[in-house]
């Protein structure tokens, strides 16, 4: 026997459950919306708080007096920062200034006397072991060079340059330069610019030694044939 009342009660239960779930889902949706609204308000308040703090700092800066006032700040314009960099403080005098750079800093450089490349006066006078010292920043660097007997001036200048370049921790370099087709000279340069990096030379082999005889230690400006300083 079929119980029609039981079927009716089951349908009513399903309808009731659907209504209950629908109402529950609506409540969840409402709560989620409230949560989203609160998150948005929190973000707005945080942004407002940050801007208010920034405004307060700027107001305090503007309230400064004397040299602390931003209205006393000075600006400076430079036509060529590759040559000269300038800054301005609140106490700087206003006005236009012109600075002419006559020469930029260059490393201390010296030249030897001029020698005929295929001559052999250097090896004749200074054959064998020779020692001299290059002093930079108060530190002496001993340079040892072995001059080949009978070698041409071209070769001897190369031997001296190579010995200088091989000296450990020496902030200087040297090379043999051929200033004309038939002549050559020794050039020695500090690795850094500035007066503190100028070179001093000491002939330690004997008095009026090799560097002195070569004109490196002249202390006067080098010319076309005589050694001395270049910069």
Residue-level pLDDT at 4: 47
HSE on the CB side for 171, CA within 13 Å? 18
Q: What is the pLDDT of residue 57?
A: 81
The alpha carbon dihedral of 62, 64, 65, 66 has a sign of negative
Yes or no: say if 214 and 112 are a contact pair by the CB < 8 Å rule.
Answer: yes
Q: Which two tokens stand for residue 203?
A: 């002939």
Name the nearest CA neighbour of 109 among 223, 222, 225: 222
Q: What is the pLDDT of residue 229?
A: 93
The confidence score (pLDDT) of residue 208 equals 67
128-142 per-residue burial string, b: 16 or more CB within 10 A, e: under 16: eebbbbbebeeeebe
Burial class (CB in 10 A: 0-12, 13-18, 19+), 102: exposed
- State the alpha helices, DSSP H only, in 65-167: 121-126, 153-165
- The full set of domain ranges for the chain reads 109-229
Distance CA 225, CA 7 (A): 126
Q: Tell me what pLDDT residue 224 has.
A: 95
| Dihedral over Cα of 128, 129, 132, 133: its sign | positive
Burial status of residue 81 (CB atoms within 10 A of its CB: 0-12, 13-18, 19 or more): exposed
Segment-wise mean pLDDT, segments of 10 residues, the chain, 231 residues: 55 76 81 83 86 82 61 68 70 70 81 96 92 92 95 97 96 95 96 88 77 92 94 86
Q: Which structure tokens are listed for 116? A: 């005929």
The pLDDT value given to residue 121: 95
């Amino acid at each position: 026997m079929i119980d029609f009342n039981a079927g009716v009660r089951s349908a009513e239960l399903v309808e009731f459950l659907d209504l209950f779930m629908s109402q529950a889902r609506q409540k969840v949706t409402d709560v989620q919306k409230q949560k989203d609204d609160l998150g948005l308000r929190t973000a707005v308040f945080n942004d407002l708080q940050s801007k208010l703090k920034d405004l307060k700092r700027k107001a305090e800066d503007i309230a400064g007096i004397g040299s602390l006032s931003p209205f006393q700040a000075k600006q400076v314009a430079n036509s060529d920062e590759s040559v000269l960099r300038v800054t301005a403080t609140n106490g700087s005098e206003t006005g236009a200034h012109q600075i002419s750079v006559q020469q930029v800093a260059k490393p201390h450089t010296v030249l030897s006397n001029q020698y005929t490349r295929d001559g052999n006066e250097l090896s004749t006078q200074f054959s064998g072991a020779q020692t001299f010292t290059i002093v930079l920043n108060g530190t002496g660097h001993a340079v040892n060079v072995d001059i080949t007997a009978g070698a041409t001036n071209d070769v001897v200048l190369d031997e001296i340059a190579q010995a200088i370049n091989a000296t450990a921790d020496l902030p200087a370099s040297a090379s043999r330069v051929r200033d004309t087709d038939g002549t050559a000279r020794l050039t020695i340069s500090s690795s850094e610019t500035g007066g503190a990096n100028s070179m001093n030379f000491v002939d330690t082999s004997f008095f009026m030694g090799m560097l002195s005889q070569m004109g490196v230690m002249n202390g006067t400006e080098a010319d076309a044939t005589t050694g001395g300083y270049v910069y």
